[in-house]
Chain A
Amino acid sequence: EAQVTQNPRYLITVTGKKLTVTCSQNMNHEYMSWYRQDPGLGLRQIYYSMNVEVTDKGDVPEGYKVSRKEKRNFPLILESPSPNQTSLYFCASSTLKGAYGYTFGSGTRLTVV
Chain B
Amino acid sequence: AQTVTQSQPEMSVQEAETVTLSCTYDTSESNYYLFWYKQPPSRQMILVIRQEAYKQQNATENRFSVNFQKAAKSFSLKISDSQLGDTAMYFCAFMKGAGTASKLTFGTGTRLQVTL
Contacts and interface: CB of A to CB of B under 8 A. Distances in A.
B102 to A, nearest CB: 6
Nearest to B92: A42
Contacts of B107: 42
B101 A95 contact: yes
B92 to A, nearest CB: 9
Contacts of B47: 100-101
Given A42-B91, A42-B109, A101 B104 contact: yes
Interface string A91-108: 010111111111010110
A101 B33 contact: yes
Given A101-B35, A104-B44, A96 B100 contact: yes
A43 B100 CA distance: 20
B79 interface: no
Nearest to B103: A45
B91 to A, nearest CB: 6
B44 A107 contact: yes
Interface residues of B, number: 25
Contacts of B43: 88, 106-107, 109
Interface in B39-66: 42-45, 47, 50, 52
Interface residues of A, number: 30
Contacts of A94: 101
Contacts of B108: 40-42
Contacts of A41: 108
B85 interface: no
A58 interface: yes
Given A90-B45, A106-B43, A97 B104 contact: no
Given A104-B45, A106-B42, A107-B43, 15 more contacts: A35-B104, A40-B108, A41-B108, A42-B107, A42-B108, A42-B109, A43-B91, A43-B106, A50-B100, A50-B101, A58-B103, A88-B43, A92-B45, A99-B97, A107-B44
